[in-house]
Amino acid sequence: MDTVAQEIRCSHCGAPVEFKPGEIIATCKYCGFTTVIETGQTFTFEHSLILNKFDQKSIDEPIQAWLRGGFLKPGDLARKSKITERNLVYLPFWVVSVEAKSTYKGIFERIAPAIVKEGTIAKEYEWLVLAREVSGFPTHEYEVPLEGKIPFDFRKIEGFAKLLNSEIDRDAALELAKQQIEEHNRFLLQQDVDKIVEMKTEVTLKQMVYLHAPIWFIKYEYKGKDYQLTIEGTAGTALKGDIPSSRF
Ligand SMILES: [Zn+2]
């Protein structure tokens, strides 16, 4: 579905900033300033950028490496595939740094008689929340290389690349992170107890950063069919790829 783009003026340089319905934080292409669309106000959180290391030629190296590697792929995949699309997209993320403490009471049934276990799981997370709907993006496979982040610099965004705006604000991102962290701690706890009687998670926020990270969306053709491959642009690691079924 194609949606009509709307426009606001950048609060910093006055250039038109296009946005689509559903987007609520927009970055100006001309000066890199970020604005909250609804209020027209300047965005007050840290905005960072993860640098991309590939161009439309050199991205073929990690693509070829992926096509060649692994056991499950057809032997002629690298030779017979044709790369048909190489799209670099800067995806928006919120990185939520927290201390999360879950206090629990559960029942351990793996010995007889079963015993009641109580305790806490205390962890620090830099939890990643994808700031918009991107169908099939494997958030859990992607570890944002935070040590390589720089302050957002629009001059580093390649002319052929696409920069996507955020569809969720800071509060919504924090809420999502809390829910996901609680679920994650619940999952961890299930390794220790068989039944959870009660669990309470306390999340202390340390920092929130809005960032754009480079992701390559690749399409390749193999024996007349199209397949997709997603590669992150920092190290060229494949995050997710469609593998044609091989015949044995
Ligand atoms: Zn601007």
75-105 tens-digit pLDDT: 899 999 999 999 999 999 999 999 999 999 9
Cβ atoms 81, 243 nearer than 8 A: no
Asked whether residue 78 falls in the same domain as residue 109, the answer is: yes
Is the whole model's pTM more than 0.75, yes or no? yes
118-146 tens-digit pLDDT: 999 999 999 999 999 887 899 888 988 98
Asked whether residue 40 falls in the same domain as residue 50, the answer is: no
Q: What is the whole-number distance in angstroms between the Cα of residue 101 and the centre of ligand 1?
A: 41
Burial class (CB in 10 A: 0-12, 13-18, 19+), 127: buried
Asked whether residue 74 falls in the same domain as residue 111, the answer is: yes
What total number of domains does the chain contain?
2
Q: What is the whole-number distance in angstroms between the Cα of residue 228 and the centre of ligand 1?
A: 34
Asked whether residue 108 falls in the same domain as residue 23, the answer is: no
| Residue predicted with more confidence, 176 or 71 | 176
Residues, CB-to-ion distance under 5 Å, ligand 1: 10, 12-13, 15, 28, 30-31, 33
Q: What is the whole-number distance in angstroms between the Cα of residue 155 and the centre of ligand 1?
A: 12
Residue range(s) defining the domain that contains residue 95:
46-151+168-241
The token pair that represents 91 in the structure block:
């995806």
Cβ atoms 168, 24 nearer than 8 A: yes
Q: What is the whole-number distance in angstroms between the Cα of residue 45 and the centre of ligand 1?
A: 17
